[in-house]
Every structure is written in structure tokens, then in C-alpha cells.
Structure 1
Amino acid sequence: MALKRVEDRPTPKEVYNWRPYVLALIAGWSGMLFGYDSAFIGGTIELSAFQAQFGLDKLSEGELAFTSSNIVSTYQAGCFFGCILAFFVVEKLGRRVTLQCASALFCLGAGLMLGAKHSLGLVYGGRLIGGLGVGGVSLSTPLYIAEIAPPSIRGQLVGFYEIFLQAGGVVGFWINFGISEHIPYGSKQWHIPVAIQLIPGGLLLAASVFLRETPRWLYRQKRLNEAIVNLSWMRNLPADHPYVQDEIQGIRAQFERETQGGNNEGLTAKLKELGKPGIRNRLGIGMCIMMCQNLTGLFQYYSPTIFSSIGITGTSNSLFATGIYGVVKMVATLIALVWLVDRIGRRKPLIVGALVGALSMYYIAGFIAVAKPSGTGSPTPAGKFAAACIYIFAIAFCMSWNGISWIICSEIFPLSVRALGQTITSATQWLWQFVVARSTPYMIKNIGYGTYLFFGTCMILMIPWAYFILPETKGVSLEDMDRIFGYCPHGHNMAIEDGVIKNEIEEREVADVHRP
């Protein structure tokens, strides 16, 4: 039986045209900035040429670890504050302009790093400013794509961001690997990976001029004619077509509901709005899913260390295994977000992914506890299966929590607080990424196999959370999310009944319809 696409209402075939795909590809390309920047820096810091130029080779082991950690943490701090600052830009100037500003900041950060000679000052400055750019796109990209996408392919289009993120990670790793193997000792060893940052950043900045602002943001700015023109162009339908008029009417109805109680503009008013029943539960879900995403993802930060911990030692062996790990993640992400997420939904992959990931973690913990691998001699069958479990985990993680978390957070909030809700959930992601990245090496060193037991148990706890707390949002229009989460703004008389969306979705499932 063919997997089914779920439509929120009868949809003309013209809606599935090339335009939303191209817009999503351009905006989603920003994931390359995130993925590449996160991947290349660790290997670059380890290069002997980099350490010699900045005097890191004269530091003690503890001092070197502290300095390396600071270089990474400066970037994460920039990302955290970048997504917060981007909120004000994305609200006032729009989603498109925010993407442009963020890509310019990213390029500026790369340029500052290239200008560093013997002091780490410009390296820290470049990492901070580059992080501001990456934080900005982590807010604006999912927001932009969710607002321009037809409901039935929204998960796929928002997923482009995560796909490019994984691709950037693969590129960053293999560039480091190639440099370490083929580029002779010298400043070129670290200049090349730093300079390559300018390619994805520059391409995004150039291509962003072709983006069109989202109709929903334009409507909130009371630019109705522009909103209709852009929506008509994106849907490839005349402005007076019933489908376009119905979507505009949905946007108008939500806007009117949200503004019935008076002015809800301004940060204070929006924060109050987030605390209302029907919205605060969405905020809790968004923050929780971003926390869960990072409590499953220790392998993405320290995979070489983890491969070594199960007996795969030697620089080339552990690095090559890590490179293949990145490729597996990218392929799994591609399959899940392009083909599956809009057909089987969001909740089922999260539940299955958590179960498979937890079992993988538990096996690795048991193997380390019993075998106590030292890395000497040939790997045992049990050790080979432990290595396989890392790849099994990667597939489960990337087909569930890794990309779906961004999709859910981009689609659940109402228009009036969508940017603020996305800001808070994105900041939560960066905060927990920092916590996990800083704590994992100490956990591996001090409690060994207990690290895997801890993260495996976290994943087990995510199963009942996803089953009982998280509603399915597959195929639901952004304006219909209020009916799922029970939100009646300002006492508006909206009928909300348990299961109404579920029943409507089941009635609207369209079998044997495939994407172009």
C-alpha cells in the first residue's frame, strides 16, 4: 500500500509547483552554515599548524583543553544570543531580511578568523559573530519555510534545513580529513577550512535576493495586497482562485481572533500571550522537544571519542569511522524528511526512534561494562556489533528527533507569537547543546558506561512523553493548530472538540498521490 499524503483541504495540483521547493531550498541552504561550522572547528583546533601559530603547543594538556573548549563555547554563546537578537529583526523587518543579515554576519565572522595572526582575539571574535549568524538562521529559516509551505509538504520543506545541516557536517569533516592527509604543514592547513565558510555564507547571501517574503508576515504588517500577490505566486494560482482566497481567509480569521482583545504587539504583550492556556502548552512542548533532541545526541559531538571507547583506536580508524557516521546521518535524514515525515507523521518516528536509540545505548553500555575494550588486538564480534549500534543509533536519531524537532517547533505557534515561540525553543536548543557538549567528555571519563545508560534511559522516558503529550500535526494548516491545542484567543467562540482534527485528517487522506 502506498504511503499517503495528507491534505488539509482539496488541493489543486498547481500548488505542488517548483516555487515553494526552490524557496525552501534557498532558505534551507542556511543549514550548511550551521552544519559546516559545527563540524570543521574541532579538527582545525587539533591541527599542529594551528596550535603552533597561536601558541597552543606550549600549553599544558589541561590548558589546551580549556582553550579549545572556550573556542567552541564562544560559538555556542553566539548562537544562543543570535537567535534571541534575531527575534527583533524577524518581527520588524521580516523573515527574508533576517536571513540576509544572518548570512552577512556569518561571512564577517569567517573573515575575522582569517585575519588572525598570532593572537586568539580575532578567532574568538570571529567565532562569536559567526555564531550570531548561525543563531539567526536557526530562528528565521524554519519560520520562513513553515509559513510559505503548503500544509501537506510542510514537514518535507522545513526538513531541507536539517538535510543541509547534515550535509554541512559531512563536508566539514571530510575537508578536515583530507587536509590532515594531503596538505603539508603550514598555515594553509587551517586557513582552508576557515575560508570555506565563505562559500555557503556567500551563496546564501546572494541567493536570498530571490526569496519572497512570507504572506503571513506581510498580512501582520497590514500589507494585504503584497500578501495576496506573494501567496498567489507561491501557489501558482490566480489571486481570485478559491484555494488562495481560502488560505488568505484563514490567515485573516486567525489575525482577527488574536487582535480582538486589543493590541498584542510589543514584547510584553507577546510574553503574556505565551502564558495563556492553549499557548503555554505549545511552548512547553517546544522547549521539551528541543531538550530531548540534545539528550539523545551525544554521538554528534564526540563520536571519535566514543568509537575509541569501544575499541576502535588509531587516529585514521576513528576519524574514518566518524566520517562514515556522518554520511549515514545525512542519508537517514534525507530519507526521513523528504519521503516519510509528511506521510507517516511526526509522533510515530519519535516513538520508534527513541526506542531503537535507547536499545543501542544499552547495548553499548553493556559491552563496555563487560568487555572493557582497550583497543588492542582485533575487534571481537561483540565489539563490531557495538560499533554497528552507533550507526543504528545514528539512523534512528536522524529519522526522528534530529529533524522533526525543528519541524514541530516551526509549525505549532499561532501567528501573533510564532517568532517569539520559535525564538525561545531555538534558544533552548542552543542551551541544551551547550550543556550536553560540555558535560559529555567528563561523563565518559568519570562514569564510563554509565554515560550510555543515562542517555538511553532519557530516551526511554521520551517514549511516553511523545505518545501521551505530543499531538500529531501532520497535514494540519498553521491556522488550524489552535484547534489541536485548545486555544480560544480573547474568548473567541471557537469549537474545539477532542479528535476533531484527527477525524478530519483521516477523511482527507489522499492515497496514491506522490510529490512531483
Structure 2
Amino acid sequence: MQTFNITEDNWEAIKGNMVAILQAGCAFGALVSNIPAGKQYLLGRKKTIMISAWIFMIGSIIQAACNTYSPLLVGRFITGCRFIYDEDDGKSIWHWSRRHGSPIQLTNQPKKNHSNICIPQVHSRNISSRLSRKNGFYISDFVSPWSMPKLLVSFQQSGEQKYRAISYGFIRAFSTSDWQWRWPLIIQLMPAFIVITCGLNVMPESIRWLIKNSRYKRSLQILSKLRDLPLNHPDIIEEFDQIQYSVQLERMQTFTKAQQILFDPKVRRQLIIGCLLQFFQQVASTNAVNYYAPSLFKTIGIFGGPLEAMATGLYGNIKLLFVYAAYFIVDSRMGRRKALLISSVITAVAFNTLGILLSQSEDITDDAIGIRQIMAILMLYLFAIGFEIGWGPVVWIICSEIYPDNIRAVCVSLTTTINFVTLAIMSKMTPLMLEQIGWKTEIVFGGIAIGIGIFVFCFLPETRGLSLEHMTEVTWGHVFL
């Protein structure tokens, strides 16, 4: 605040702008990243990651070096634009960490009889926490595609706790200096630098992209290396033939992907479901809670200092614990649909109870933490539990498995754009709502949770364990669709 001469009067609005502008950049990057060039695409995986890493570094440098408010916003928008999908690899979508750092292969190379999964879901808290949350992971045969989404979200949440601790250390070490937020921005350049200098040397190119560009020998070598099988192994030959056949079918199509999305009613309905799920995930307000947890704790009656840091840290640890729990829940008998329904009920109870408690606590002082304040804190933790067993990871799983294979990357890109646009709006609105209507903000979020639970009950079928071929039939044949 001192660096940019920001006063308390306009701090909430400016804080909302700083959060929202990053999400606007992410939305722009996600939207434009799937523009193809004719029937072959310009970029493979390695070029996509390199461009994204450079965009990330440029944006971070601008943020770390700025001394006025406008360059900070420009840097944050550029940093957001690094969100790029590799459209050329319909079986393997890469995501340069949406906010923080190193690349993660969100799906392994194609394995027959498995649907593809990608999860670009990450969380962050405030401007001083913009350092790398994750180490890079190349995930291949040692993790099944069905287990990967939960595992990756677990890695993400674990990394989040690390950067919270590091950021808190800088805040304590430079409590009166602007280096408390500059150093995290400088440190987050390290993963991007490592990727550009070292990571791309060991990263294989997309098999499907190589086949599309008639580099058959190289694509077969990469497939053999990933599967750890000889080139002449029957499984390698069979899988390679399947990929070639899939690419040939795409080339023979007489209609474009845009035509299929717009005029195929089944695909259009699947895309609407995915867009609504991403929209509801953000209006359920987990990122609003993450970004503005300190403001919420102040509303409850915890005014800064070690107590606020402890409460916020415990909130993150609870999220991490129940993301690991979701690892076992989503593919159990509960499945995707029940997990979302239970998640909606828990978050609705937590928010509405929190709102009622805060409405009865108008006389809070900084030294008066009573039973209502303790109950309010517990409701925030209950929200974290409810969200992370359902709406946190499950939405990304569903949105990556319900679309036809040939247009999956485009559909995931569109639904992800909806996620970022909604997040930008919620990031801008939440601090203003907390300032203008106070405890009624929680009641609004509680009502939204009830509404999205009704949507899931009426319109979302169970997709657990289904093959890609059956996804369209199930989503089209659901009783309410």
C-alpha cells in the first residue's frame, strides 16, 4: 500500500482489481490458445510450454520491478496470459501453472481404454503469495489416468502450503519494506527459468503432433520410451496404430470443430454442462475465500498478528487434508454426482450458518473472541472440507472426460475460459460485497450453494467408470436433459 500510495478508503476496490486482472489474463490466454492454423497446428507441446514460460517470466519481472500501480496491473495481466493449452495433442493437455510456476503434464500420453483427464485447478491467496507453488512433475505410466486428477490436486494443495509459509516468512522479515512482496515475485521466476534452460531438454514432444506432421519414426520412439517397451512390442504397435487411425479420422472429417460444437446437439449440451459446472465452481466462492481469508477472519473478529496467520494456515491445511480424502472418494461408490451433491449441502450449511453467526456478532472487538467467533471460524473450515471433497477437484474431472476425443481440447479450453471469467468477476465483487453488505455476503454464497446443488441433482448424470464412447449417450439420455 505504501509503495503505490494506496489509502484505506480505496484499498478494497484496488485489491479486487489486482486479483481480477490476473484472471482476465488467464481467460484471454485460455480462449486464444486453441486457434488452429489450417488442418495442422502451429505448436507442439515443447514450443507451447516455452512460450508460456517466457510470458510468465516477463509478467513476473514487470510486477517485481514496478513502482506504480498501472505497471503492476499490466504485469499481472501478462502473467495471466501464460495459460496455454497444447491443442496439437488431443490426448495430452499441458498447463503452464495458471498462477504460479512450473509445468505439469496433466494427462499422460495416450493409453488405450482410458479416458483423458486434465486438471488445471490451482488456488492462491494474495499478491505477496505469487511464488511457485509446485515442483514440476512428469507423470507417465506409474499413475493410472483415473487416479491422476486427485493426485495432482493433492500436489497442488501441498505446494500451496509451502508458498504460504515462505510468503509469511517474507512478510515477517520485511514487515516495513516493499521487499515483502517483491521477493516472492522474484523467487517465482526460478521454476520458469529451470523449465526454459533444463526442463524442455527432457520433455518429449506430443505423439499426436508428431504424427500430424508425418514424423512417424520419432513418435514411435517416444511411445516406446514412455511405455518402457521395445519398438516391436505388440502393445506398442497396436497403440501406435490406434493413434494413427484417430489422426486419420480427424483429417477425413468434412466439418470443422466449430461446426460440431455449434450444430451437434449432443456435443452442444455437453459443452453447456461443462460451462455451467465451471461457472458454479467459482460462484461457490472458494477462491473468494482463499483470496480474502484475512478479510473474512477480520470480519469474524481476528485482527491480524500471529492468530490470524495461524487461522489462515490451518484453513489451508484442512483444504490439503480433504483433497487427499477426495483422492479416494471420487472413484468410490460415491462417484462424481454424489460428491458434488454432498459438497453443495456442506458448503450451503457452512455459509448460511456463518452468515447467521456474523449477524449476531456486531459488537466484536479485537480482544473479545467468544463462542460465536469460534463457531464462525469452524464454519469456514467446514466450507473448506465440503468444497475440497466435491466442487474443488470433481468439476475438472468431469469437464475433461465428457467430450468427444477430437474436440476435447477445444471444449476444455472454452470451459476453462468460463472459469477464469467468473473468477475475475467474483474476485472483483467479493471485497466490495464484504465492505458493503458484510455478513449478508455469506448468506448470498449459501443460497448459491443450494442452487448449484439443485442443478447437479436435476441435470448431471453419473460418469464414474464410463468409457469415452458412453459419455455422450449418458449425458444425452439423462432424464432431465
Q: Any residues of structure 2 matched to 1:112-123 within 5 Å, and which?
A: 112-116=62-66, 118-123=67-72
**What TM-score, normalized by structure 1, do the two folds share?**
0.73
- Aligned residue number for residue 445 of structure 1: 435
- Is the Cα contact below 8 Å between 2:350 and 2:379 reproduced in 1? yes
- Is the Cα contact below 8 Å between 2:318 and 2:385 reproduced in 1? yes
Equivalents in 1 of 2:303, 2:65: separation in Å? 36
Residue 148 (structure 1) aligned to one of 79, 101, 109: 109
- Aligned residue number for residue 225 of structure 2: 233
Greater Cα shift, 371-380 or 252-261: 252-261
Equivalents in 1 of 2:150, 2:232: separation in Å? 31
SS at match of 1:146: coil
Equivalents in 2 of 1:180, 1:376: separation in Å? 21
Equivalents in 1 of 2:44, 2:473: separation in Å? 27
Greater Cα shift, 298-307 or 186-195: 186-195
Question: Which one scores higher on RCO, CA 8 angstroms, separation ≥ 6?
Answer: 1
- Aligned residue number for residue 428 of structure 1: 418
- Aligned residue number for residue 98 of structure 1: 48
**What TM-score, normalized by structure 2, do the two folds share?**
0.78
Equivalents in 1 of 2:450, 2:42: separation in Å? 41
Greater Cα shift, 121-130 or 233-242: 233-242
- Is the Cα contact below 8 Å between 2:460 and 2:475 reproduced in 1? no
Equivalents in 2 of 1:346, 1:228: separation in Å? 35
Please list every run of at least 4 consecutive aligned residues from structure 1 whose deviation after the TM superposition is greater than 6 angstroms.
none
Equivalents in 2 of 1:408, 1:165: separation in Å? 19
Q: Which has the higher helix share?
A: 1
- Aligned residue number for residue 74 of structure 2: 125
- Aligned residue number for residue 52 of structure 1: 2
Structure 1 pair 498/335, CA: closer, same or farther in 2 (3 Å)? Answer: closer
1:261, CA displacement in angstroms? 4.5
1:442, CA displacement in angstroms? 2.2
Q: Any residues of structure 2 matched to 1:54-453 within 5 Å, and which?
A: 54=4, 56=5, 59-88=6-35, 91-116=41-66, 118-134=67-83, 140-141=94-95, 145-146=106-107, 148=109, 150=111, 151=114, 153-183=144-174, 185-205=176-196, 206-221=198-213, 223-238=215-230, 243-244=235-236, 247-248=239-240, 251=243, 255=247, 261-262=253-254, 264=255, 269-275=256-262, 276-296=264-284, 297=286, 298-337=288-327, 339-344=328-333, 345-372=335-362, 374-453=364-443
Greater Cα shift, 159-168 or 446-455: 159-168
1:83, CA displacement in angstroms? 1.4
Structure 1 pair 235/408, CA: closer, same or farther in 2 (3 Å)? Answer: farther
Equivalents in 2 of 1:97, 1:346: separation in Å? 35
When the two structures are aligned, how many residues end up with a matched partner?
429
1:235, CA displacement in angstroms? 3.2
Deviations 1:140-178 (Å, cap 9, x if unpaired)? 339953362653832432345433443443334323322
Q: CA RMSD in A?
A: 3.3
**What amino acid maps onto 1:78 in structure 2?**
G
Equivalents in 2 of 1:485, 1:147: separation in Å? 25
Segments of 5+ residues of structure 1 without an aligned counterpart are: 1-50, 487-496, 500-516
**What amino acid maps onto 2:199 in structure 1?**
A
Structure 1 pair 131/396, CA: closer, same or farther in 2 (3 Å)? Answer: same
1:187, CA displacement in angstroms? 4.5
- Is the Cα contact below 8 Å between 1:311 and 1:373 reproduced in 2? no
Deviations 1:278-298 (Å, cap 9, x if unpaired)? 211121111111111111123
- Aligned residue number for residue 126 of structure 2: none
Structure 1 pair 367/470, CA: closer, same or farther in 2 (3 Å)? Answer: same
The percentage of aligned residue pairs carrying the same residue is 27
1:424, CA displacement in angstroms? 0.8
**What amino acid maps onto 1:274 in structure 2?**
I
SS at match of 1:105: helix
**What amino acid maps onto 1:199 in structure 2?**
M
SS at match of 2:461: coil
SS at match of 2:464: coil
SS at match of 1:141: strand
